[in-house]
Amino acid sequence: MARIIVVTSGKGGVGKTTSSAAIGIGLALKGHKVVLIDFDIGLRNLDLIMGCERRVVYDFVNVINGEATLNQALIKDKRVSSLSILPASQTRDKDALNKENVGKVLEELGKTFDYIICDSPAGIEAGAMMALYFADEAIVTTNPEVSSVRDSDRILGMLASRSRRAELGLEPIKEHLLLTRYSPKRVEEGEMLSVEDVVDILSIPLLGVIPESQSVLKASNAGEPVILDVESDAGKAYQDVIDRLLGETVEFRFLVAEKKGIFSRMFGG
């Protein structure tokens, strides 16, 4: 039975789609069958991050409306054969999704895939609520700033009360915290919340800390999920996230500012 994981946040621009792409391809590289679904109807971005935007013919809404089959709409990743992408529509309204039809699509995908990763829009509008409704697990993505963390706390309230699991009185959605764009140096300078601050406020288990890195932007622009950049700190941090998702105990990295040696301090390196 497929694990349905929603990647969500209260605030936009925190790296949800980047994280969805990295997690999807990371799980597929571990040998699992994975499908990535873009729930951001009208503002499609997942296909760009995955580098398959020119291959989109049919989308999620076409499938829901019976205008295409899942087989026609799913795009197989060229790098990892066990990974597929179901893109969002750029021309439809977010109200095009409804629980009955989305449920049918997820049920059908669950027959083939081990993991269904739902890339949610930010906030609590209809598309975001639809993405989290069917989830078994949620990766709550936030930056280490007060407004982002506060909005994430609101999302936790929605996960606890507005999901199918909450409606049916089932075991609650399993929650994970993913902290992105983290800079230990800026934490030391008082410009950012620390990991401990964020964990203390949200009170959910920490899944990963992704360091602030130019490699994330470069990878996104190239249509290559940053987890494939095995030399970058961000790529290594996402690899750690995958291992933790799969139940491994992995020490957290990139939490402490790098100390400069005496020559670096003297010569400004």
Q: Report pLDDT digits (tens) over 196-251.
A: 999 999 999 999 999 999 999 899 888 899 999 999 999 999 999 999 999 999 99
Q: What are phi and psi of 99, to 5 degrees?
A: -60, -45
First to last CA, the chain: 52
Backbone φ and ψ for 5, nearest 5 degrees, come out as: -120, 125
CA separation for the pair 225, 221 (Å, rounded): 10
pLDDT value of position 41: 85
Which pLDDT score, from 0 to 100, does residue 133 have?
Answer: 95
Quote the CA–CA distance of 157 and 153 in Å, as a whole number: 7
Give the contacts of 195 (CB within 8 A, at least 6 positions apart): 144, 179, 182, 206, 209, 252, 255
Contacts with 62 (C-beta within 8 Å, 6 or more apart), sequence order: 68, 72, 73, 89
**What pLDDT, on the 0 to 100 scale, is given for residue 269?**
52
Give the number of other CB atoms < 10 A from CB of residue 100. Answer: 7
Structure tokens at 210: 């992704």
CB-CB contact of 63 with 69 (8 Å): yes
Identify whether the C-beta of residue 35 lies closer than 8 Å to the C-beta of residue 71: no
| Sign of the C-alpha dihedral computed for residues 190, 207, 202 and 129 taken in this order | positive
- Report the C-alpha gap between 162 and 145 in whole angstroms: 26
Output the pLDDT for position 263.
Answer: 52
Axis-axis angle for helices 126-133, 99-110 (nearest 10): 40
Spatial separation of the C-alpha atoms in residues 54 and 47, rounded to whole Å: 9
Cβ atoms within 10 A of the Cβ of 245, count?
A: 20
Strands 3-8 and 137-142, by their bridges, are parallel
Could you say which residues of the chain have pLDDT below 50?
Answer: none
